[in-house]
Amino acid sequence: MSRDDEERGPEDDGPQLQIWDAETRRHSLGRLVDGDEEWEVHVVAETVTNDLARGRLTFQRGRLQLVTAAVIVEETEAEVLRRAEAMPESMIRQFLVSVRD
């Protein structure tokens, strides 16, 4: 082992896979009524890299919480939020149906 190897440390061993950034922001999109159920809908936005952000939708009713995969990918968290807020109710309802199954 060379002196350079000793000084580098484990953080220099190459790229590390990071699934979700620690910095997430949850923003309310409102309520969705589905039959006799009422769900609180949020988008969880997070920055992945300097030019990549993604968002998941969460549906909460009481203690039950359903979460989608990342369904919005944009360059910034602000763009993720704008896209989420512009989603039609029918699309949000489809995401709810997909995470229920």
pLDDT score for 12: 53
Phi and psi dihedrals of 84, rounded to 5? -65, -45
13-25 pLDDT, tens digit per residue, is: 555 444 544 456 8
45-60 pLDDT, tens digit per residue, is: 999 999 999 999 999 9
Report H helices in the chain: 3-8, 77-86, 89-100
Distance CA(4)–CA(13), nearest Å, equals 12
For the chain, which residues make up each domain, given as ranges?
A: 22-100
Is residue 14 helix, strand or coil? coil
| pTM of the predicted protein model | 0.73
pLDDT score for 24: 67
Phi and psi dihedrals of 20, rounded to 5? -130, 135
pLDDT score for 21: 46
pLDDT of 11 above 60: no
Distance CA(46)–CA(71), nearest Å, equals 12
* Cβ count near 91 (within 10 Å): 12
pLDDT score for 8: 47
